[in-house]
Amino acid sequence: MPRLVVVSNRVADPRKTAAGGLAVALADVLNNTGGLWFGWSGKIVEPSAGGRADEGELRTQQAGPVKLVTLDLSREDHDAYYVGYSNGVLWPVFHYRLDLADFDAGYIAGYRRVNQLFARKLQPLLRDDDIIWVHDYHLIPLAAELRALGCTQRIGFFLHIPLPPPLILAAIPGHDWLIRALFAYDLVGFQSEADHGHFCRYIEAEARAQNLGEGRWRAFNRTIQAGAFPIGMDVEEFNALASAPDGLEMYERMRREYSRRKLLVGVDRLDYSKGLPQRLQAFRELLQRYPETHNSATLVQIASPSREDVGAYTDILHELESLCGSINGNYGELEWMPVRYIHRTVARSRLPGLYRASRVALVTPLRDGMNLVAKEFVASQDPQDPGVLVLSRFAGAAEQLKEALLVNPYDVEATANAIHLALQMPVEERRARHQALMANIREYDVHWWCDSFLDSLVKAQAEETGTPWL
Ligand code: ADP
């Protein structure tokens, strides 16, 4: 069996767990197959007096069946590649937020430099029959850089975040370069059919790509395969967590504390794409419209700190703090606070217990590639007395989880009504919806995602390799 080489911006020890859909899913895949995981160490080396930083030195660590190889980045490269281009241009634009993008011309040079550095350092470690799987928006040009160094291996790319419609994508200076670089892969995967459709429309209109049928496209002298591979969760891992002491204790504690009140839960990274202010506005609207919810419903919102070095993230933090304060100030009573807002990461082992003790989950991003919290909430429920998922129609998960209460998170009043419906929903309807959702989550789990992507990658017909790409 060929070796699997995974490349992503950050590498995490697959024996441990971290917040973030990508880290959780990849840890699972590599624990099963073994292989090599290559990426940035997370460390920044400051320049020595007068000179450039000594970046790119490789560190290797064996983690069970997985070899982890990491490199450090210089401050200059980190700021341009990671903070600048990846999170200041690609993240906002791919989440439809042109207003938040910072198109500084220096960022793209740093982005390209770091992709070249990754390619230079990775290429000598590769074997001829390796299967290479590159992840996410930080590394779009990596295959092109590897091909320029003579790599002919099968290379696949999976985009974990949304791909916006062609005209939004076309606002990025250098968008044609970026999309052309995707043609150096053999397989390009997206989270949803909607994102896949945007890609097809873009390459037809902007690159005059030829549609060969069955997901195959030809342009720039290459034939590639493209498709939707919605990422799933590890249902067994989550079940095991739910029945472990930490999970059980959390469940019992929350049930005891909320025995007289219904618990609503939100669990997110603190990111402007997650629709947190709109969610709190909808909760405020619920309290305003339905006085019977006073004293009987509590929203626990966990928002873990994220990318605090990017300006737009501090703005959203302040907005959220102010909304929580004003809701509690206006509606709270001595014995009841409507919102419990926690700006910290909660241990993964405690999440299933928290989800299971909650009657309603609010997963209402303005735009999200998939959103694994939605799936984790459903998987944690008691099938006899399950909670209700209120899900944004703009999350990739909405294509699969059709039995959730789907909402438009920009419509605060409609979302408040949906939350009210969720709180009132009779147990028979909750059970029927939960059963249907669970069937989908089980069928399209993380193993399905990984197997179907890798199967397609092995089958993808690479007709040309080694073309000088960039
Ligand atoms: P993203 O990748 O944008 O953060 P996802 O919902 O797809 O969004 O993945 C988030 C993953 O990280 C889930 O597995 C979730 O359980 C975990 N997670 C998210 N927020 C928190 C938090 N505040 N505390 C603990 N775990 C979290």
Q: What is the pLDDT of residues 298-314, one digit of tens each?
A: 999 999 998 877 777 88
CB of residue 351 inside a 6 A radius of ligand 1? yes
What is the reported pLDDT for 335? 92
Q: Which residues contact 380 (CB under 8 A, 6 or more apart)?
A: 238, 242, 351, 352, 353, 355, 356
Confidence category of residue 47, pLDDT binned at 50, 70, 90: confident
Angstrom distance (rounded) from CA 136 to CA 73: 18
pLDDT at position 204 over 60: yes
pLDDT of 173-200, one tens digit each? Answer: 999 999 999 999 999 999 999 999 999 9
Tokens of 209: 């790509």
Instruction: Go through the domains of the chain in sequence order and give each one's CATH number.
Output: 4-232+448-464 (3.40.50.2000), 235-443 (3.40.50.2000)
CA of 421 to the centre of ligand 1 (A): 26
- Is 455 tagged catalytic? no
Ligand 1 mutation pick, 233, 373, 380, 401, max ligand atoms within 8 A of CB: 373
pLDDT at position 386 over 50: yes
Q: Which residue out of 368, 420, 434, 445 is catalytically annotated?
A: 368
Return the residue whose CA atom lies nearest to atom 26 of ligand 1: 19
What's the start-to-end Cα distance of the chain, in Å?
A: 32
CA of 131 to the centre of ligand 1 (A): 28
The answer to whether 232 touches 449, Cβ cutoff 8 Å, is: yes
Confidence category of residue 470, pLDDT binned at 50, 70, 90: very low
What is the reported pLDDT for 28? 65
CB of residue 397 inside a 6 A radius of ligand 1? no
Angstrom distance (rounded) from CA 201 to CA 259: 52
What is the reported pLDDT for 17? 57
Angle at CA 179, nearest 5°, toward 174 and 180? Answer: 95
Angstrom distance (rounded) from CA 328 to CA 321: 11
pLDDT at position 15 over 90: no
The answer to whether 199 touches 209, Cβ cutoff 8 Å, is: no
CB of residue 408 inside a 6 A radius of ligand 1? no
The answer to whether 409 touches 392, Cβ cutoff 8 Å, is: yes
CB of residue 391 inside a 6 A radius of ligand 1? no
Tokens of 82: 């990671």
What is the reported pLDDT for 329? 97
pLDDT of 55-69, one tens digit each? Answer: 678 999 998 888 999
pLDDT of 357-369, one tens digit each? Answer: 999 999 999 999 9
Angstrom distance (rounded) from CA 291 to CA 288: 6
Angstrom distance (rounded) from CA 426 to CA 173: 52
The answer to whether 193 touches 232, Cβ cutoff 8 Å, is: no
Residue range 10-21: mean pLDDT, rounded: 66
What is the reported pLDDT for 311? 76
CA of 363 to the centre of ligand 1 (A): 11
What is the reported pLDDT for 55? 65
CB of residue 136 inside a 6 A radius of ligand 1? no
Atom of ligand 1 nearest to the CA of 363: 6
What is the reported pLDDT for 466? 41
As a whole-number percent, the residues of the chain with pLDDT over 90 amount to 79
Confidence category of residue 18, pLDDT binned at 50, 70, 90: low
What is the reported pLDDT for 387? 98
Return the residue whose CA atom lies nearest to atom 22 of ligand 1: 345
pLDDT of 425-466, one tens digit each? Answer: 999 999 999 999 999 999 999 889 988 999 999 988 554 444
CB of residue 8 inside a 6 A radius of ligand 1? no
CB of residue 21 inside a 6 A radius of ligand 1? yes
pLDDT of 100-158, one tens digit each? Answer: 999 999 999 999 999 999 999 999 999 999 999 999 999 999 999 999 999 999 999 99
The answer to whether 404 touches 391, Cβ cutoff 8 Å, is: yes
Tokens of 226: 């493209």
What is the reported pLDDT for 52? 58
Angstrom distance (rounded) from CA 252 to CA 35: 40
Return the residue whose CA atom lies nearest to atom 27 of ligand 1: 19
- Residue for token pair 């992840």: 135
pLDDT at position 326 over 90: yes
pLDDT at position 201 over 90: yes
CB of residue 379 inside a 6 A radius of ligand 1? no
Nearest one of 275, 296, 239 to 424, comparing CA atoms:
296
Residue range 222-245: mean pLDDT, rounded: 92
The answer to whether 26 touches 37, Cβ cutoff 8 Å, is: yes
Mean pLDDT of the chain: 92
- Is 160 tagged catalytic? yes
**Cβ count within 10 A of residue 15:** 10
Confidence category of residue 467, pLDDT binned at 50, 70, 90: very low
Strands 66-74, 35-45: parallel, antiparallel or unpaired by DSSP?
A: parallel
Distances (CA, A) of 83 to 48, 110, 170, 347, 427: 21, 10, 21, 26, 47
Return the residue whose CA atom lies nearest to atom 19 of ligand 1: 268
Confidence category of residue 24, pLDDT binned at 50, 70, 90: low
